[in-house]
C-alpha cells in the first residue's frame, strides 16, 4: 500500500515531552505489536522514554505499568497479539468494583485513579491504540487535559475517520484461506458450505473475503437478505452441475424482517452484545428448502490471531510513526488515519460511538454483482 505524506520521517527537533505512555485497548488483532514497535523506536530516537500500560485502561486503573526498553520491542514486528496485553471490558467511567447483595455488578467512576497513575509514572502524553470504545475513552482523557494521540485498530475496519485499519487485511487473509479450504470438501461432497466471519455490524470482512474466495453468496449486515434468494442460487448451481455452493456470511447479517442473531450478552462489557449463530440457522434452512446437504463453519477468533500479513506490518509501522510525528508537532487530541493513499489525522472524538459501514453502492459490491455473486437482497 503506497502512502505519501508531507511530513518528514523525523522532526528536526524533539519536543519537550520526555515520557509517554502507550496502551492497547479492546480486542486483540494482528499488527498491534508493529504499532508498539514503531512508536517506541521513533520515541527512543528522540530520547523519549515509553511507559507500557498493561491490559488497556485496566493498567491505568490498577496502576500496572512498566518502562519499555529497546529489547522489549526487538523482534516483535512479526508476532500477533500485543506484548502489553489488552482488555475489552474496562471503562474508566464505569469500572466494575464488586457485586451487590442482589448479585448485580457495582460500578464506579475511576477516572481519578487513572489520572493518578499517569502522574505517578510521569507520563506527559498518551498513545492509545484501539477501536471506537478505546477512542471514546481517549477523547475523555483529552478533554481532561491529557495530551493524547489515537491509533485506529480493528479487524472489522469500521472506525470512522479512516479508510482502513490495521488488522483488517490479516483477518481477510485468514477468512479467505478458510473459504478456499472448505470449497474442496464442499466439491467432494456436493454440499453447500456456509462460513461465518466476524465484523459486528459492518460487512467489510465478509465482502472482501467473499470476493477474494469467489464465494457464490455474500451476506452482510448492511443488506438484509431473503432466504429464498439464497436457496434459489444453491438450487440453480446444483441444476447446472456445480459441485458446491459457498456462502460467506457476516456474523451481523440478518434475514429480511428479522433480527441479528445474538450468541450471548456480556453485561460487564461496554459493548455487551456478542453476535454469532447465523451460519447454523442459514445452513439448516438451505438444506431443508433445497435438499442440498449443507454444513456450516464459524471462524471466530482465528481471524483475530496469528501472524500479521505484510500489509498490516507496513500499515502499523506507518500509523505508529505518524502518531509520534503528530506528538512532536504538538498536534494532540487527534487520531492518525489513512485517507486514500495519504497519511492524515482527525479529531479524536470522530470515531467515538460510531461505526463505518459498507455502502450498498460500494465499488466492490458492484464488481461482485458483475461477476455473478449475489447478496440475497435481489
Q: For residue 248, give the C-alpha cell.
A: 460467506
Distance CA 261, CA 275 (A): 6
3-state DSSP assignment of residue 224? coil
142 backbone dihedrals φ, ψ, rounded to 5° = -60, -40
**Cell numbers for 162:** 479512516
Contacts of 78 (CB under 8 A, 6+ apart): 307, 308, 313
**End-to-end Cα, the chain, rounded Å:** 34
User: In the structure grid, which three cell numbers stand for residue 53, read together?
Assistant: 500500560
Residue 271 annotated to the active site: no
**Do 151 and 127 meet the contact criterion of CB atoms below 8 Å apart?**
yes
| Helix residue ranges per DSSP H, the chain | 32-45, 57-61, 70-73, 111-120, 132-143, 168-189, 204-213, 227-239, 278-290, 310-328, 363-370
CB atoms within 10 A of CB 346: 18
264 CB neighbour count, 10 Å cutoff:
10
- Kindly list the distances between the CA atom of residue 4 and the CA atoms of 8, 31, 246, in Å, as whole numbers in the listed order: 10, 20, 38
| List of residues 6+ apart from 370 with CB closer than 8 A | none
Residue 282 in grid coordinates: 442459514
Give the active site residue among 156, 158, 216, 345: 156
- Which residues have C-beta within 8 Å of that of residue 24, sequence separation ≥ 6? 32, 36, 56, 82, 84, 85, 86, 129, 130, 153
Q: Judge contact between 20 and 50, C-beta under 8 A.
A: yes
211 membership: H or E segment, kind and range: helix 204-213
Those residues with Cβ within 8 angstroms of residue 301's Cβ, 6 or more apart along the chain or in another chain: none
Closest CA to 368 of 229, 260, 209, 259: 209
Q: Which residues are catalytic?
A: 156
Amino acid at each position: 500500500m503506497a502512502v505519501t505524506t508531507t511530513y518528514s520521517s523525523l522532526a528536526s527537533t524533539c519536543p519537550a515531552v520526555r515520557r509517554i505512555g502507550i496502551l492497547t485497548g479492546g480486542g486483540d488483532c494482528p499488527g498491534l505489536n508493529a504499532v508498539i514497535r514503531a512508536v517506541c523506536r521513533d520515541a527512543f530516537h528522540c530520547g523519549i522514554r515509553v511507559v507500557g500500560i498493561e491490559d488497556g485502561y485496566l493498567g491505568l486503573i490498577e496502576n500496572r505499568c512498566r518502562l519499555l526498553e529497546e529489547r522489549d520491542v526487538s523482534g516483535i514486528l512479526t508476532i500477533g497479539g500485543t506484548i502489553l496485553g489488552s482488555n475489552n471490558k474496562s471503562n474508566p467511567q464505569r469500572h466494575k468494583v464488586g457485586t451487590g447483595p442482589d448479585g448485580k455488578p457495582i460500578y464506579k467512576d475511576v477516572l481519578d485513579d487513572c489520572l493518578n497513575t499517569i502522574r505517578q509514572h510521569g507520563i506527559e502524553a498518551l498513545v492509545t491504540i484501539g477501536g471506537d470504545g478505546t477512542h471514546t475513552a481517549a477523547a475523555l482523557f483529552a478533554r481532561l487535559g491529557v495530551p493524547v494521540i489515537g491509533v485506529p485498530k480493528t479487524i472489522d475496519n469500521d472506525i470512522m475517520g479512516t479508510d482502513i485499519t490495521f488488522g483488517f487485511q490479516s483477518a481477510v487473509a485468514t477468512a479467505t484461506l478458510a473459504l478456499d479450504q472448505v470449497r474442496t470438501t464442499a466439491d467432494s461432497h456436493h454440499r453447500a458450505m456456509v462460513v461465518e466471519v466476524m465484523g459486528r455490524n459492518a460487512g467489510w470482512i465478509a465482502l472482501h473475503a467473499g470476493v477474494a474466495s469467489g464465494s457464490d453468496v455474500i451476506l452482510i449486515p448492511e443488506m438484509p437478505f431473503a432466504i429464498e434468494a439464497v436457496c434459489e442460487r444453491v438450487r440453480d448451481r446444483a441444476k447446472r452441475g456445480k459441485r458446491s455452493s459457498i456462502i460467506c456470511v457476516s456474523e451481523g447479517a440478518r434475514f429480511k424482517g428479522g433480527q441479528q442473531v445474538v450468541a450471548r450478552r456480556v453485561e460487564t462489557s461496554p459493548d455487551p452484545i456478542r453476535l454469532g449463530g447465523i451460519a447454523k440457522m442459514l445452513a439448516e434452512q438451505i438444506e431443508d428448502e433445497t435438499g442440498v446437504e449443507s454444513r456450516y463453519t464459524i471462524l471466530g477468533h482465528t481471524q483475530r490471531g496469528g501472524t500479521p500479513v505484510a500489509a498490516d506490518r507496513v500499515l502499523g509501522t506507518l500509523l505508529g510513526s505518524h502518531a509520534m510525528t503528530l506528538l512532536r508537532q504538538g498536534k494532540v487530541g487527534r487520531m492518525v488515519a489513512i485517507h486514500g493513499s495519504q497519511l492524515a489525522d482527525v479529531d479524536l472524538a470522530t470515531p467515538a460511538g460510531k461505526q463505518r459501514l459498507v455502502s450498498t453502492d460500494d465499488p466492490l459490491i458492484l464488481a461482485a454483482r458483475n461477476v455473478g455473486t449475489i447478496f440475497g437482497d435481489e
